[in-house]
Chains A and B, each alone.
Chain A
Amino acid sequence: MPTSTDLVTDLPADFEVFGQAVDTDFVDLLGGANGYILSKASATDLDFAWIPNDQGDITAVNVTAPITGGGSAGAVTIGVSAASTAAAGVVQLSDSTSTTSSVLASTPTATKSAYDLAAAAVPKSTVTTNGDIIYATGSAAVTRLGIGSTGQVLKVSGGVPSWGSDNGKVLQVVFASTATQTSNTTTTYADTTLTATITPTSATSQILCLVSQNGVLGTSASNGVKLRLLRGATSIFDFAGSLGYSQASSTRNDTSGSCSYLDSPATTSATTYKTQFAQRTADATACQVQVVTESRSSITLIEIGA
């Protein structure tokens, strides 16, 4: 290209060179679709590109739930649906701690109210075992009391609740009887067949034994029948030393012996009580108990709470 000081020597040729340079520099302005706009393609001078006319302008508002409304022309209005248990949406806050609403959301105020109540409640971890109960140990302080044993009652000991035996109360009664004729011709104690077994509910219980030994037949003159009460194999109460004794007559007397004895077995195991009998002095004639069927003997065991 000639400069401003050059002399024009070949104008057509110079215009051709100029025209070719314009075509080369502004080639990016060629083309483009209807409505397209020109956009810089790089930092290089005259480097452009045609692009769709959607840069910087909103051409449509498309919405999905919970947003409502929208559109692609004119004034566009949008909204938000209310929340429910079935769909997301906008929710209203509430300070209430008593509402049963399913669409309101609690505020920190309501949450704190609930928290304060929970913090003041008895911890669930206080109880650990089936049958536990809870009692106060002071202001806003509690502890657990494990369940007692069968037959125990709730009492107060040392100012606090505790489980204990039902003192002085009849806890159970066991009755037994026999009509088996039994004979002994020795001075060695032998079973009368009158026996009963009781299982105390507490080791501190007492057992009241009521015995009625009937049909006791003595032997001969100057002799009698001895009776005693046993717990297991241990003699605990001699209650007849010469029953049916007759000093002069040889007549044998059919009589009976009875006793009541308050025992403290100190066990919760099954405990058997029985009676034994023997001749006071050796005699070939048998002394007997339950001498006839109608002479039924009986024993009653009464557990009394200590």
Chain B
Amino acid sequence: MATGTEVLTLLIPNGGWYISGDEFENIQFLECDPITKAEFEAGFAKADKSNADQAKAKETAKAALLTKLGITSEEAALLLS
């Protein structure tokens, strides 16, 4: 589950906001245009998908790199130890 910070980072990437916890009522739009509560709450699904996409892309990139290097993940870990 994404955090309120991750949702606002996704929806208002240029910053200017403050949030305490994950509740819309605890957001302060200090130096940015405010969003609605509905937009904020819908943002959790978007943030979850974004996090999942980033994790998946990271795993894909790792696998491609290992293939390119011709080593296994265990061998890569050994190199980094």
Chain A residues within CB distance 8 Å of chain B: 180-186, 188, 190-191, 193, 282-286, 288
A127 to chain B minimum Cβ distance, whole angstroms, is 56
24 residue pairs bridging A and B, Cβ less than 8 Å apart = A180-B20, A181-B4, A181-B5, A181-B21, A181-B22, A182-B18, A182-B21, A183-B4, A184-B17, A184-B18, A185-B12, A185-B16, A185-B17, A185-B32, A186-B16, A186-B17, A186-B30, A188-B18, A188-B30, A190-B20, A190-B30, A282-B15, A284-B13, A286-B8
New contact pairs (6) apart from A181-B21, A284-B14, CB-CB < 8 Å:
A180-B20, A181-B22, A183-B8, A185-B8, A188-B30, A190-B30
B15 to chain A minimum Cβ distance, whole angstroms, is 3
- Complex Cα spacing A181 to B27, Å: 12
B25 at the interface (CB under 8 A from A): no
A183 and B31 contact, CB distance less than 8 A: no
B1 to chain A minimum Cβ distance, whole angstroms, is 12
Q: Which B residues lie within 8 Å of A285 (CB)?
A: 9, 15
B58 to chain A minimum Cβ distance, whole angstroms, is 17
Which residue of the partner chain, among B4, B14, B20, B31, contacts A188 with CB atoms under 8 Å? B31
Q: Which B residues lie within 8 Å of A190 (CB)?
A: 18, 20, 28, 30
B interface SS class: loop
B12 to chain A minimum Cβ distance, whole angstroms, is 8
Q: Which B residues lie within 8 Å of A193 (CB)?
A: 20-21
Q: How many residues of B contact A (CB 8 A)?
A: 20
A299 to chain B minimum Cβ distance, whole angstroms, is 16
B60 at the interface (CB under 8 A from A): no
Q: Which A residues lie within 8 Å of B15 (CB)?
A: 185-186, 282-286
Which residue on B lies nearest to A190, using beta carbons? Answer: B18
- Complex Cα spacing A288 to B19, Å: 9
Q: Which A residues lie within 8 Å of B13 (CB)?
A: 284
- Complex Cα spacing A89 to B49, Å: 112
B3 at the interface (CB under 8 A from A): yes
Q: Which B residues lie within 8 Å of A288 (CB)?
A: 5
Q: Which A residues lie within 8 Å of B8 (CB)?
A: 183, 185, 286
- Complex Cα spacing A186 to B32, Å: 10
A223 to chain B minimum Cβ distance, whole angstroms, is 11
- Complex Cα spacing A183 to B15, Å: 10
B8 to chain A minimum Cβ distance, whole angstroms, is 7
Which residue on B lies nearest to A188, using beta carbons? Answer: B30
Which of B12, B16, B20, B28 has the most chain A CB atoms inside 10 A of its CB? B20
A186 and B31 contact, CB distance less than 8 A: yes
A177 to chain B minimum Cβ distance, whole angstroms, is 15
- Complex Cα spacing A184 to B20, Å: 9
- Complex Cα spacing A185 to B9, Å: 9
